[in-house]
């Protein structure tokens, strides 16, 4: 570990920035320019009244729509760009700016526009898509209810078909079924995609989406709808979240978004998908783009925080040798390096993981019919892992960055304040992180089987127990055995036994894979033995739940590491590659270090080897320290958006 491959080297920052920007460099630069043009909103967010701030955010959203930045993912025939990957890149880059704008963009073009596009058919597209793309028609995505958040199948809004008038009657069952936290509802939305139980002739066909008017031309709420403001929130106060009650609102039959199910004039319900659960999860599957976007947004928001904290840490001085005039730069303190440099490594890993999931999304959704269900499910699993672990990581990165700037970090002018408060809810919306990790685990446990998608974790218990668990266990254990054999190579020359192979990607990968396989097969076994022992499924689930979450996390982290490693391997030789390689090593070793207790408990790490892992993490931090500012500069956060007084 003693040799430093980066000594006296300089990172080529523009080249590294291009590498990070990737295929969509021009899109990202266009968004950067747009954000700089609207940079004043970062100041206005503090000074405007809530109403004015919301209107200002709306105006920016509509102006951005005018530049074409918001329509990359919408069809060309309606003024969009027809490029899903570009739309994700544009969205996540927007997270360098005001995050209320970001979220309002997501509500309008991703959720509302996406629902009309993905769940509707030509009749809806022709009527609405052009106005949605231009921002002339602002809409809501009315799914979540006060009493029904993660459990969407239990929604209490009803759309009952009235054959006489060929209308659906929308009714909120009780207060727990009011739509809640709905963006665009409190002030600007004139229409909503409403998720409701579809009842035809007394039969409930499950949750479907319909378009419903909310406000008339003059902005007055229509009869049959009641709206309440959600009020002040921890962050994102530029977004007008509201609650909606439907009180007998009638909408024409044609308002059913009928791609996956339709009701004929005479009240005949039909769907190309027979199984109601499968139909429901097919509809929900279209949400995956939202999750990909939210994860990417959080990861990019955390880059802003890290850029500020690392630059400050490289300038600010505090204490020093007695009788010396010059104090020591913060980043020269070991603890400060330990605090910030692994965060750079993790942010790079998440960036490349996000690039991968976004590319998968692009390929699968650009050619819907060609994508197998298995590939779609793999995408959903990857998106759930990246969104959940990426948003938690972002929140952690922002808070640590704030603390690394001391009291100055507490002043809103330095951006941490809004970044933290705005990103906070990213861990909850578009799928609560814990619930999403259960989805990931379920996919692993059932090997991406058809029932994969159900969010009801208790049902999973019986399902997994009913599977040929031995197959899962055997499959994973066989791999483990091979890994163990591969792992038993003798130490390389010149290195002590504890250090041997610490920087070997094969070792990193084998450790991460082994953990994942062991946790997954262990969870399957515990679920099965719990059920076999006659315990109630909910009790079995409750007890195994932390194990399941750990399995999901380990899966996600392995995917992230692989994405990072692949990127390093494909980078041309040179200082940038060496720097990325060191960051990638640091990421892997930080993961192993973070779970080293588990590895020791399972005989995969000796106490001495575990200490060597920690020493290697510290050494990598020291080696990367001179390059820290270059590494965050490569994120390409425009200086105009830093809005800081810190340097």
Catalytic residue list? 430
Name the residue nearer to a second copy (CB basis): 546 or 574. Answer: 546
Q: Are 211 and 257 in contact (CB under 8 A)?
A: yes
Options 318, 366, 471, 496; binder of a second copy; rule CB under 8 A: 318
Residues between 388 and 407 with contacts to a second copy, criterion CB under 8 A: 395, 399, 402-403, 406-407
Q: Please give the helix or strand (H or E) that residue 210 lies within, else none.
A: strand 203-213
Residue 466 binds a second copy (CB under 8 A): no
Residue among 102, 138, 105, 293 at smallest CA distance from 213: 138
Name the residue nearer to a second copy (CB basis): 86 or 192. Answer: 192
Residue 626 binds a second copy (CB under 8 A): no
Shortest Cβ distance from residue 36 to a second copy (Å)?
Answer: 22
Options 51, 264, 327, 497; binder of a second copy; rule CB under 8 A: 327
Structure token digits, residue 281: 């999860």
Torsion sign, CA atoms 364, 367, 372, 376: positive
Name the residue nearer to a second copy (CB basis): 125 or 278. Answer: 278
Q: Calculate Rg over the CA atoms of the chain.
A: 26
The residue range among 12-20, 217-225, 452-460, 477-485 that interacts with a second copy, by the rule CB under 8 A, is 452-460
* N-term to C-term CA, the chain: 34
Q: Please give the helix or strand (H or E) that residue 523 lies within, else none.
A: helix 505-532
Shortest Cβ distance from residue 327 to a second copy (Å)?
Answer: 7
How far apart CA 127 and CA 134 sit, in angstroms, is 13
Structure token digits, residue 259: 């791609």
How far apart CA 106 and CA 97 sit, in angstroms, is 14
Name the residue nearer to a second copy (CB basis): 248 or 607. Answer: 607
Shortest Cβ distance from residue 220 to a second copy (Å)?
Answer: 25
Residues between 240 and 299 with contacts to a second copy, criterion CB under 8 A: none
CA distances from residue 373 to 368, 376, 440 in whole angstroms, order as listed: 10, 5, 16
Cβ-based neighbours of 251, under 8 Å, separated by 6 or more: 159, 167, 168, 170, 210, 211, 212, 213
Residues between 180 and 239 with contacts to a second copy, criterion CB under 8 A: 180-181, 230-235
Residues between 530 and 569 with contacts to a second copy, criterion CB under 8 A: 536-538, 541-546, 549
Options 90, 192, 309, 425; binder of a second copy; rule CB under 8 A: 425
Structure token digits, residue 543: 């007890």
β-pair partners for 250: 169
Options 618, 626, 638, 643; binder of a second copy; rule CB under 8 A: 618
Q: Are 103 and 53 in contact (CB under 8 A)?
A: no
Looking at residue 256, the DSSP 8-state letter turns out to be B
Residue 410 binds a second copy (CB under 8 A): yes
Name the residue nearer to a second copy (CB basis): 534 or 603. Answer: 603
Residue among 324, 340, 343 at smallest CA distance from 332: 340
Looking at residue 572, the DSSP 8-state letter turns out to be P
Structure token digits, residue 54: 């919301």
Cβ-based neighbours of 432, under 8 Å, separated by 6 or more: 149, 150
Torsion sign, CA atoms 429, 434, 440, 446: negative
Question: For the window 7-46, what string marks contact with a second copy as x by the rule CB under 8 A?
Answer: ---------------------------------------x
Structure token digits, residue 611: 């200490």
Options 432, 451, 498, 504; binder of a second copy; rule CB under 8 A: 432
Name the residue nearer to a second copy (CB basis): 81 or 409. Answer: 409
Outline where 113-225 has alpha helix (H): 113-119, 122-124, 130-134
Residues between 101 and 160 with contacts to a second copy, criterion CB under 8 A: 144, 146, 149-151, 154
Residue 505 binds a second copy (CB under 8 A): no
Residue 321 binds a second copy (CB under 8 A): yes
Name the residue nearer to a second copy (CB basis): 376 or 415. Answer: 415
- The residue to which tokens 């405007």 are assigned: 48
Name the residue nearer to a second copy (CB basis): 246 or 541. Answer: 541
Cα three-residue angle 179-183-185, rounded to 5 degrees: 65
Name the residue nearer to a second copy (CB basis): 116 or 306. Answer: 306
Shortest Cβ distance from residue 83 to a second copy (Å)?
Answer: 31
How far apart CA 90 and CA 377 sit, in angstroms, is 25
Q: Please give the helix or strand (H or E) that residue 158 lies within, else none.
A: strand 157-162
Shortest Cβ distance from residue 520 to a second copy (Å)?
Answer: 17
Residue among 256, 310, 295 at smallest CA distance from 383: 295
How far apart CA 549 and CA 439 sit, in angstroms, is 9
β-pair partners for 244: 179, 227
Shortest Cβ distance from residue 434 to a second copy (Å)?
Answer: 6
How far apart CA 165 and CA 249 sit, in angstroms, is 13
Shortest Cβ distance from residue 430 to a second copy (Å)?
Answer: 11
Question: For the window 50-79, what string marks contact with a second copy as x by the rule CB under 8 A?
Answer: ------------------------------
Name the residue nearer to a second copy (CB basis): 412 or 477. Answer: 412
Shortest Cβ distance from residue 631 to a second copy (Å)?
Answer: 20
Shortest Cβ distance from residue 136 to a second copy (Å)?
Answer: 29
Options 172, 255, 388, 427; binder of a second copy; rule CB under 8 A: 427
The residue range among 211-219, 326-334, 352-360, 577-585 that interacts with a second copy, by the rule CB under 8 A, is 326-334
The residue range among 80-88, 219-227, 347-355, 426-434 that interacts with a second copy, by the rule CB under 8 A, is 426-434
Options 9, 173, 456, 477; binder of a second copy; rule CB under 8 A: 456
Options 1, 371, 411, 449; binder of a second copy; rule CB under 8 A: 411
Give the chain's largest Cα–Cα span. Answer: 92
Residues between 592 and 611 with contacts to a second copy, criterion CB under 8 A: 596-597, 600-603, 607-608, 610-611
Helix (H, G, I), strand (E, B) or coil at 18: helix
Shortest Cβ distance from residue 458 to a second copy (Å)?
Answer: 5
Name the residue nearer to a second copy (CB basis): 34 or 446. Answer: 446
Options 183, 297, 409, 636; binder of a second copy; rule CB under 8 A: 409
Number of residues binding to a second copy, judged by CB under 8 A = 78
């Amino acid at each position: 570990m003693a040799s430093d491959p980066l000594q006296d080297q300089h990172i080529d920052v523009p080249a590294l920035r291009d590498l990070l920007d990737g295929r969509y460099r021009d899109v990202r630069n266009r968004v950067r320019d747009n954000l700089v043009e609207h940079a004043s909103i970062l100041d206005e967010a503090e000074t405007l009244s809530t109403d004015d701030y919301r209107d200002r955010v709306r105006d920016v959203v509509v102006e951005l729509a005018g530049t074409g930045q918001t329509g990359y993912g919408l069809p060309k025939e309606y003024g969009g760009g027809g490029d899903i990957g570009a739309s994700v890149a544009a969205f996540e880059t927007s997270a360098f700016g005001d995050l209320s704008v970001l979220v309002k963009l997501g509500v309008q073009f991703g959720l509302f526009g996406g629902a009309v596009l993905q769940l509707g058919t030509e009749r809806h597209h022709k009527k609405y898509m052009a106005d949605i793309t231009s921002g002339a028609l602002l809409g809501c995505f009315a799914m979540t209810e006060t009493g029904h958040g993660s459990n969407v199948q239990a929604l209490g809004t009803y759309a009952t078909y009235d054959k006489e008038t060929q209308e659906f009657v929308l009714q909120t069952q009780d207060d727990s079924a009011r739509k809640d936290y709905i963006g665009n509802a409190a002030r600007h939305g004139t229409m909503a995609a409403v998720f409701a139980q579809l009842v035809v002739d007394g039969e409930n066909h499950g949750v479907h989406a319909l378009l419903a008017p909310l406000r008339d031309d003059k902005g007055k709420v229509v009869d049959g709808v009641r709206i309440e403001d959600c009020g002040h929130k921890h962050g994102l106060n530029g977004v007008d979240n509201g609650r909606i009650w439907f009180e007998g609102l009638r909408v024409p039959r044609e308002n059913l978004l009928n791609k996956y199910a339709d009701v004929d004039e005479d009240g005949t319900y039909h769907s190309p998908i027979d199984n109601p659960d499968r139909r429901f999860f097919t509809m929900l599957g279209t949400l995956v783009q939202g999750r990909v976007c939210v994860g990417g947004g959080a990861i990019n928001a955390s880059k802003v925080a890290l850029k500020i904290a690392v630059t400050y840490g490289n300038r600010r001085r505090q204490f020093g040798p007695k009788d010396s005039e010059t104090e020591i730069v913060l980043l020269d303190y070991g603890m400060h390096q330990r605090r910030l440099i692994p965060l750079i490594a993790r942010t790079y890993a998440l960036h490349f993981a996000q690039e991968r999931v976004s590319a998968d999304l692009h390929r699968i959704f650009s050619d819907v019919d060609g994508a197998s269900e298995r590939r779609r499910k793999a995408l959903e699993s990857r998106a759930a892992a990246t969104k959940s672990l990426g948003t938690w990581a972002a929140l952690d990165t922002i808070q640590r960055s704030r603390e690394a700037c001391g009291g100055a970090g507490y002043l809103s002018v330095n951006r941490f304040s809004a970044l933290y408060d705005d990103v906070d809810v990213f861990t909850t919306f578009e799928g609560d992180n814990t619930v999403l990790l259960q989805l990931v685990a379920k996919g692993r446990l059932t090997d991406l089987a058809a029932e994969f998608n159900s969010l009801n974790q208790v049902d999973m218990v019986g399902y997994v127990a009913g599977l040929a668990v031995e197959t899962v266990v055997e499959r994973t254990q066989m791999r483990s055995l091979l890994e163990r054999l591969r792992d038993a190579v003798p130490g390389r020359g010149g290195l002590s036994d504890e250090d041997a192979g610490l920087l070997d990607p094969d070792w990193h990968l084998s450790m991460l894979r082994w953990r994942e396989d062991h946790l997954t097969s262990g969870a399957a076994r515990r679920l099965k033995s719990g059920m076999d022992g006659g315990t109630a499924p909910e009790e079995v689930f409750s007890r195994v739940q932390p194990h399941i979450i750990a399995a999901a996390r380990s899966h996600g982290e392995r995917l992230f590491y692989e994405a990072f490693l692949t990127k390093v391997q494909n980078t041309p030789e040179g200082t940038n590659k060496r720097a990325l390689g060191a960051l990638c090593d640091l990421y892997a070793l930080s993961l192993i270090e973070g779970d080293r207790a588990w590895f020791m408990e399972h005989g995969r790490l000796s106490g001495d080897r575990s200490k060597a892992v920690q020493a290697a993490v510290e050494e990598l931090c020291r080696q990367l320290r001179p390059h820290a500012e270059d590494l965050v500069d490569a994120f390409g956060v425009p200086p105009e958006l830093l809005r800081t007084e810190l340097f």
